[in-house]
Chain A
Amino acid sequence: MAYTEKILERSIDPSVHKMLERAEKLNLETVWDRYEAMLPECGFGELGVCCRNCNMGPCRISPFDDQGPKKGVCGATADIIVARNLIRMIVGGAAAHSDHGRDLAHTLLLTAEGKGGGYEIKDEEKLKALAGEYSIETQGRTKEQIALDLARAVYGEFGKQEGFVQFTRRAPEKRVALWKSLGIDPRGVDREIVEIMHRTHIGVDNDPVNLILQGLKASIADGWGGSTIATELSDVLFGTPMPVRSQSNLGVLKQDHVNIIVHGHEPVLSEMIVAASNDPELLVLAEKVGAKGINVAGICCTGNEIIMRHGIPIVGNFLQQELAVITGAVEAMIVDVQCIMPSLGPLSECFHTKFISTSPKAKFPGATHMEFSEEKAFEIAKQIVQAAVENYSLRTPEKVLIPEDKTECMVGFSAEAIVKALGGTLDPLLNAIKSGDIKGIAGVVGCNNPKVKHDYGHVALVRELIKNNVLVTTTGCNAIACAKFGLMLPEAADQAGDGLKGVCRTLGVPPVLHMGSCVDISRILTVCAAVANALGVDISDLPVAGAAPEWMSEKAVSIGAYVVSSGIFTVLGTVPPVLGSKVVTEVLTRGANEVVGATFAVEPDPVKGAGLMIAHMDKKRKALGI
């Protein structure tokens, strides 16, 4: 099939080419069209020097020495404006992750109280382990009793005014001591976010470094706080992921089934949809409308949650959400929160697809709102699935075009699963690192962005890493990209360097380990902490590095901030809006090393980006004497 240059340049994924061609034929607008229409994007925004924090503005600082304003009306310089904007991005992301964690805590609370509409406590072992971290008594108590105390304790982390966030204490002692000495050991999840909103108000914090430090603090309350809470409580309620096989890409949609896509982030919803889709009554209904069954598939992080725990296939990542609708094969796209494009409503109207919103926090134009509540979870989930099944009769077979592309993958590598695969201890991993079979561990994560050729940033970077014996852990849209391109099959070990190849073959695992959704980056932190503790060093001494080759969301900024705050060098594939300030850029790319033992680097070329990570790991290995 000969596609136009324009289509081929947008993505490396053949399913995307097919759907973009269809979109052109049907005159349907996609995210790529809107991006092109937005060019040129405003340089003030790109540089981060636009400030709208007060009505004396809006202000923008000219990047040219001899022309234009050099200070905002209040007197803020570019350094101050960029720093303020940056940490507001951090809290945008931190708030999203933390709210997700808060919802999980709330769900656990309801479940413990017996008010959860169909939820149960699946992993009692994990429940007890977490309770232990909070010094909650577990001997001779029912899981509901333990869960109640745990839920209350975790819930309390959000509104806490003083003290510390418990899960931060998983980090090596040295790391926690460093945070304390810098004054960035968070007191409570919400408090740090609120303080940033205060500090960035006009006439409060006007010191770029002080601002950035508070940004790091709020991000730690996300990474080791809100995100960890989300991951751990999801494991308690829905099971800790263990290796499982599945498939990914648009080809997982089925010609003769009711296709339901869950999109968004919280397993609180997607787990129930999956459960409802197995309901015998609804299966009978499906048969009645002429379908062979109900096919549930995921997009983005909620997709990652259900593939990790149940092997439910994933349709695609962030930039493919519109393309899934354009197949014409989707009866319902059910969404909750985060990364959902408001263009889906008008787009769905061009097909029979029902675009269903479920969260009171997230309403969209053109969506049918079927509000979800944890108290009536299973009941509502069944109603939603029923609406989807009934919609099957409105599908027009001639309007359906499902690309054949789909790839097998092996997913489900929670920290616990990795330890189990290693035989119960971290030793085989540590030995492999010491011997050099594994040069180091990389965490490659993050979104898609039309500024980068779709999935090229992800796949090229990961391939370069495994070629150099770096074990790759991945989450989010990067994980989905790796799955689509076959990097999550044990056979992908063939693409790895000899050292890594050997380890993977021995353990029967792929060289790229899917660790879950974006909040599950907390799993990567947990693994790093465990390895650091086993070796008796700080995380910043480890041969580890992070990368987000195609990031776009504020959540990614928060993640980058907490990963670097934890001592992990991180490479970004798209330029963050900080170049307007020499000070901020300096701090993030060099100064941070003296402060938290790690920095950011920006490198749009993914192969070069991998090179930076590899060089960094070599340096750390040398310092460790391995």
Chain B
Amino acid sequence: MSQPKEIFVKTDRCVGCLSCTIACAVEHSKSKTLFGAISETPVPKSRVYVEWVEPDGKVPLVCRHCEEAPCMYACISGAISRDENGVVITDTDKCIGCWTCVMVCPYGVIGRHLEEHKAYRCDRCPDREIPACVSACPTGALVYDTVDSFSGKVRKHASRELLRAEGG
């Protein structure tokens, strides 16, 4: 059984252009186009966030779809479950908007939908091959890959750096 792909974040690549947030909101709108999305009600919401750390840190944050998701255990209405692709999903029919999930999420990536009074979070874009945010990122700060493949690439890069350092 193949590994599911995760969305990895390379913070040194993020320039804070917020293209990911726009693409995410558009993907989760009714019209699925930017020009349509901006006039919809309710306002389409991004599930990815870009935060700032002085002096120049730009950090994209998105639901990690934890294997032992604290939100899933904490949910008092059984609305949160993890599907076979490893995606943690909030069932909006069951969600009663109690925000316990927000209270236990250690990343702060569960949002509060103001109009529907329910929780929402990244759904890994089930209708797309590659999540919208990853496609939209112009600098490669968001990477869609399996854990093994991604760590493999990091190790390769680290090995090269190590050899270079040793070599002089």
Residues of A within 8 A of B (CB): 39-44, 46-47, 60, 62-64, 66-69
Contacts and interface: CB of A to CB of B under 8 A. Distances in A.
B16 A67 contact: no
Interface string B129-148: 00000000011100000000
Contacts of B16: 39-43
Nearest to B15: A43
Interface pairs A-B: 6 shortest CB-CB: A43-B15, A40-B16, A67-B140, A39-B52, A40-B58, A40-B52
A41 B138 CA distance: 16
A63 B139 contact: yes
A44 B14 CA distance: 10
B143 to A, nearest CB: 10
Contacts of A68: 138-140
Nearest to A67: B140
Contacts of B50: 40
A67 B58 CA distance: 18
B17 A66 contact: no
B34 to A, nearest CB: 12
B13 interface: yes
Interface of B: 13-18, 50-52, 58, 138-140
Contacts of A69: 138
A64 B140 contact: yes
State the main secondary structure of chain A at its contact with B.
loop
B124 to A, nearest CB: 22
A64 B139 contact: yes
A42 B16 CA distance: 5
Contacts of B13: 64, 67
A44 B15 contact: yes
A394 to B, nearest CB: 37
A43 B139 CA distance: 11
Contacts of A64: 13, 139-140
B17 A43 contact: yes
A62 B139 contact: yes
A62 B15 CA distance: 9
A60 B17 contact: yes
Nearest to A64: B139
A491 B17 CA distance: 49
B133 to A, nearest CB: 15
Contacts of A62: 138-139
7 contacts: A40-B14, A40-B58, A42-B15, A60-B138, A63-B139, A68-B138, A68-B140
A67 B137 CA distance: 10
Given A64-B13, A67-B13, A42 B138 contact: no
Nearest to A61: B138
B76 to A, nearest CB: 34
A542 B138 CA distance: 47
Contacts of B14: 40, 43
Contacts of A66: 140
- The listed residue with most A CB atoms (<10 A of its CB), out of B13, B15, B139, B140, is B15
Nearest to B60: A40
Contacts of A47: 15
A578 to B, nearest CB: 16
Nearest to A45: B17
Given A43-B14, A64-B139, A67-B138, 9 more contacts: A40-B14, A40-B16, A43-B15, A46-B15, A60-B17, A60-B138, A63-B15, A67-B140, A69-B138
A42 B17 contact: yes
B139 A67 contact: yes
A60 B138 CA distance: 9
Contacts of B140: 64, 66-68
A44 B13 CA distance: 12
A44 B17 contact: yes
B22 to A, nearest CB: 12
B58 A43 contact: yes
A1 B103 CA distance: 35
Contacts of B58: 40, 43
A46 B58 CA distance: 13
A71 B118 CA distance: 43
A64 B13 CA distance: 8
A58 to B, nearest CB: 11
Contacts of B138: 60, 62, 67-69
B137 to A, nearest CB: 9
A1 B163 CA distance: 57
A67 B139 CA distance: 6
Contacts of A39: 16, 52
* Of listed B18, B51, B58, B138, residue having the most chain A CB within 10 A: B138
